């Protein structure tokens, strides 16, 4: 196998694993929060109300398919609603805007049933510009920026624009070339 082919197989396998495991490697991801599924124990331990026992259990139970699953675990550890809100202002399991249930959306601090309806109404979500425009009708720009920390928009690498691919954390010009080169004809 050539070096180029090997790199492409590794790149695509890594991306496939990341997409299949709930990681956000192939998505337009809001920035600013620690991912409860991938944060090292030291980062988790620094979060408010996290005891060593809670952190150990959290790591053992990962990956959480949704924030609802993580929330269930943390609630079972006797964290109050106020304590959970403090944790979620710093760490979260990002929510897929195109598939999220109302139950997932209302776990987002400050996003109630109204936002759950609005997020669902404008599906499919394709870009952050769309999110800014549609959700911005109901809340200001500062609030749309805050909400973006908690969600992600999946990217179809077979049809995504260069700008969309560059929104993927860690993607750069080399990855753009690789993704475009190996798209199906």
- Quick check: is 5 in a domain? no
What is the layout of strands, in order, in the sheet containing 27-29? 27-29, 151-154, 95-96
- Quick check: is 9 in a domain? no
Structural domain boundaries, residue 111:
27-154
Q: What share of the chain is helix, strand, coil (3-state, %, to 5)?
A: 50, 5, 40
pTM (2 d.p.): 0.76
Q: What pLDDT score was predicted for residue 120?
A: 96
Give the span between the Cα atoms of 3 and 119, in whole angstroms. 44
- Quick check: is 114 in a domain? yes
Q: What is the pLDDT along the chain (185 residues), one digit of tens a residue?
A: 443 433 333 333 334 333 433 444 445 665 789 999 999 999 999 999 999 999 999 999 999 999 999 999 999 999 999 999 999 999 999 999 999 999 999 999 999 999 999 999 999 998 888 999 999 999 999 999 999 999 999 888 888 888 888 877 678 899 899 988 998 87
- Quick check: is 101 in a domain? yes
Q: What pLDDT score was predicted for residue 103?
A: 97
Q: What pLDDT score was predicted for residue 170?
A: 73
Q: What pLDDT score was predicted for residue 27?
A: 58
- Quick check: is 167 in a domain? no
- Quick check: is 161 in a domain? no
- What's the total number of domains in the chain? 1
- Quick check: is 56 in a domain? yes
- Quick check: is 168 in a domain? no
Q: What pLDDT score was predicted for residue 160?
A: 85
Give the span between the Cα atoms of 108 and 162, in whole angstroms. 30
């Amino acid at each position: 196998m050539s070096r180029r082919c090997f790199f492409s197989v590794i790149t695509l396998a890594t991306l496939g694993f990341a997409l299949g495991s709930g990681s956000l490697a192939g998505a337009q991801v809001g920035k600013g929060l620690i991912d409860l599924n991938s944060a090292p124990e030291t980062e988790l331990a620094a979060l408010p109300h996290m005891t060593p026992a809670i952190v150990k259990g959290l790591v053992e139970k990962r990956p959480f398919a949704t924030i609802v699953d993580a929330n269930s675990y943390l609630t079972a550890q006797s964290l109050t609603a106020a304590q959970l809100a403090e944790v979620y202002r710093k760490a979260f399991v990002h929510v897929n805007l195109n598939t999220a249930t109302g139950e997932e959306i209302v776990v987002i601090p400050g996003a109630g049933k109204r936002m759950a309806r609005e997020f669902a109404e404008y599906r499919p979500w394709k870009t952050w510009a769309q999110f800014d425009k549609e959700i911005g009708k109901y809340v200001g720009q500062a609030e749309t920026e805050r909400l973006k920390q908690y969600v992600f928009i999946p990217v179809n690498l077979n049809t995504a624009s260069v700008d969309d691919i560059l929104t993927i954390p860690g993607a750069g010009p080399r990855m753009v070339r690789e993704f475009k080169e190996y798209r199906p004809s």
